Amino acid sequence: MNVQTRLWFLFLTALLVGCGTPEPPTLTFHDQIREDLQQYYDGVLESWAYVDLKRANQSVDLTAVRDLLLARVEESKTPQDFARILQEFAAALQEGHSLAFTNNLGEPFPKSWPIGVLLVKEGVIVANLNYLKENPGIQLGDRLIRVDEQAVESYIQARMAVTSASTELARKVLAVDTLHRTSAEQVRLTLERIDGSQYEATLPCLPHQIDYRQQTRSVFCTHKQLEDRIGVIRIPQFTWNEKAFLDSKDDRDRDAALNEAKDQIDASFTAIRENSSLILDLRNNAGGFELLSTYVAEHLVPGNFTYYSSERRDSKAIRSLEQFQ
C-alpha cells in the first residue's frame, strides 16, 4: 500500500469512527415511566379536541393530574404499577372513550366475589346471592360497609380511579358494577342488616369473572324431553323486557311488556303436557317480577288460587330505587 492510499484509508477510518452515533444513555425503570407519561400527556394536549371544554365544564386539569402521577412514580415497582398510572391518567380525562390498554400484562382482577352488589341512594347493597354456595347469613338488601377493613366509599374511589366515563356519576356506577372483581382468593366484608346491626363475613372468591348486571335475553325459558315421559322446563330468571316494564304507567302496559315471556311459558308447558312428570329447573334463578313467577304457578296449580307473600327479601335500600315496583 503506497503512502497516498494509506492516508486515504486512515482518513476514511477516522471519518467513520467520528461520525458513529453514540449510544443513548440507558434510562432507569422510573425514568422510562416519567418519559412515557410525559409523552402521553403531550399527545393528549396536542390531539384531544375536548381539552378546553373539559377544563371549563368539568374542571379537568391535565397538568395537575400528570404532576400527581409523576409524584408517585418512585412508588412503582412493577409493570403493573406503571399500567395503573396510565389507566388513572386515561380515566382522569373523564371521557368514556379514553382507555389505556394493558392487556399484555394480564387481567388485574381475574376473580369474583360470590355475591353481586348494586348502587342505590343509601349506598351499595347485596343484589345477587346465586353463586354463594354456603351463605353465612347474608340477605338481599344488606348494605356493604367495609371491604377487607377498607371503608366501602374509599374502596369505590380506588376503583373509580381506573374507570373511564364521561361523568363522575357514570364512573361510580361502572365502578360498582365491577366492584366484585378481585385478584384475591377470599374477601372479608362488613355488612349492615335492615335493623342497623352489622356483621362480618369472609367469603371464598370464584376463580373466574362473573357479570352480575342484568342481561338482555331473547329467550325467557327452554324445554326438553327426557326418557320415561319426563319433561324439563328451565327458567334462569323471572325478569323480561325490564325497561318497558319499569316504564309502564299502568297494569295494562306492564302486562303488554311481559306478553312475549308469557307466550314462551305457554309454549313450554304445551310441549310437555303429555308427560307424566315435570322438572321445573330454577337453579341459580336470579328472581325478578312476581307477575311472571305467578304466571308459571298458574300452569302448575289447577283452578283458581290465591297468591300472597308472607315475607319480602328486600329492604329500604332496595325500595329507595326510583324504579322499584
- pLDDT per residue over 165-194, tens digit each? 998 889 999 999 999 999 999 999 999 998
130 three-class SS: coil
Q: Cα angle vertex 284, ends 311, 112, to 5°? A: 110
Out of 72-81, 99-108, 153-162, pick the least confident.
99-108
Average pLDDT score over residue span 12-19 = 48
pLDDT of 10 > 50? The answer is no
Average pLDDT score over residue span 108-126 = 92
Q: Cα angle vertex 271, ends 269, 273, to 5°? A: 65
pLDDT of 126 > 90? The answer is yes
Per DSSP bridges, beta strands 150-151 and 181-182 are: unpaired
Distance separating alpha carbons of residues 233 and 226, to the nearest angstrom: 11
Per-residue confidence at 224, pLDDT binned at 50, 70, 90? very high
pLDDT score, position 192: 96
Distance separating alpha carbons of residues 208 and 229, to the nearest angstrom: 37
Out of 61-65, 94-98, 111-115, 179-183, pick the least confident.
94-98
Q: Cα angle vertex 193, ends 190, 198, to 5°? A: 40
Helices (H), strands (E): how many in the chain?
Answer: 12, 11
User: Is the Cβ–Cβ distance between 163 and 89 less than 8 Å?
Assistant: no
Distance separating alpha carbons of residues 251 and 69, to the nearest angstrom: 54
Bridge partners (DSSP) listed for residue 278 = 231
Go through the chain and tell me how many residues it has. 325
Distance separating alpha carbons of residues 162 and 146, to the nearest angstrom: 20
What would the pLDDT profile of 202-217 be if each residue is shown by its tens digit?
999 999 999 888 767 7
For 234-261, letters b (16+ CB in 10 Å) and e give bbbbbbbbeeebeebeeeeebeebbeeb
Average pLDDT score over residue span 287-301 = 87
pLDDT of 9 > 50? The answer is no
DSSP-derived letter for residue 37 is: H
| CB neighbour list of residue 242: distance below 8 Å, 6 or more residues apart | 214
Cell numbers placing 167 = 361523568
pLDDT of 230 > 60? The answer is yes
pLDDT score, position 11: 44
Query: How confident is the prediction for the chain on average, in pLDDT?
Result: 86
Average pLDDT score over residue span 25-46 = 90
